[in-house]
Chains A and B, each alone.
Chain A
Amino acid sequence: GENVEQHPSTLSVQEGDSAVIKCTYSDSASNYFPWYKQELGKRPQLIIDIRSNVGEKKDQRIAVTLNKTAKHFSLHITETQPEDSAVYFCAAMNSGGSNYKLTFGKGTLLTVNP
């Protein structure tokens, strides 16, 4: 089955700096890659996703890049703010397969220091 590795497990940045979180996946058939943000004590919420037919997607201060050859995708947050502090999860799925399972990485705790 799919295995998703996420790094780093913790990340601390100064307000205004950029943050990058990286994930690798094992199943070359995976073609859908969402990112979820979970604030302390809250539920995970989707912040951005990318499908394998594109290499990059942006939404204001966040962007995701995908390298299918390397089976690697990354989340980039620019101009970080204290409210960006949360746990971020990457995930991968093969939407065309018979297994409907969305596999998550173990998460990255991002702390943005004022």
Chain B
Amino acid sequence: DSGVTQTPKHLITATGQRVTLRCSPRSGDLSVYWYQQSLDQGLQFLIQYYNGEERAKGNILERFSAQQFPDLHSELNLSSLELGDSALYFCASSVGQRTTGELFFGEGSRLTVL
């Protein structure tokens, strides 16, 4: 158990819909990262938050947004869903804002868009 909690574990929805994925980091970790894992693309970095502020942005679509709340949990919002958004979405956390240490991954949220 990494200490990072993600909900829901599985989600099935239809195209055009909106979903919210939730992540609680390890106790004491201030940074939260979101990654998308598709079959052929490996781990694609989406976005990072540190203590409530956005720190780095990757290949995150405009239809996607995220935030980190004062209690440090984070939510990833995916809207106007398309078939291609089907993937495993990982949240990870670390103590600092620079990832020169271990990233602790959650178990992931598997999104299926039909």
Partner of B55, one of A42, A45, A100: A100
In the bound assembly, the distance between CA atoms of A32 and B102 in angstroms comes to 11
Q: Is B43 in contact with A93, judged by CB distance below 8 angstroms?
A: no
Q: Is A43 in contact with B108, judged by CB distance below 8 angstroms?
A: yes
Partner of A46, one of B41, B42, B103: B103
Q: Is A106 in contact with B98, judged by CB distance below 8 angstroms?
A: no
CB distance from B110 to the nearest CB of A (A): 10
Tally of chain B residues near chain A (CB < 8 A): 26
Residue B8 at the chain A interface, CB threshold 8 Å: no
The answer to whether A101 and B100 touch (CB under 8 A), given A44-B43, A106-B40, A106-B42, is no
Partner of A102, one of B2, B45, B50, B107: B45
Total A-B pairs in contact (CB under 8 Å)? 60
Q: Is B56 in contact with A101, judged by CB distance below 8 angstroms?
A: yes
Interface string of B73-104 (1 = CB under 8 A from A): 00000000000000000100000011110110
Within 8 A of A (CB), among B1-44: 2, 31, 33, 35, 40-44
Interface residues of chain A, those whose CB is within 8 Å of chain B, are: 6, 32, 34, 36, 42-46, 49, 51, 89, 93, 95, 99-107
8 interchain pairs (CB within 8 A)? A32-B99, A36-B103, A51-B100, A89-B42, A100-B56, A102-B33, A102-B103, A106-B40
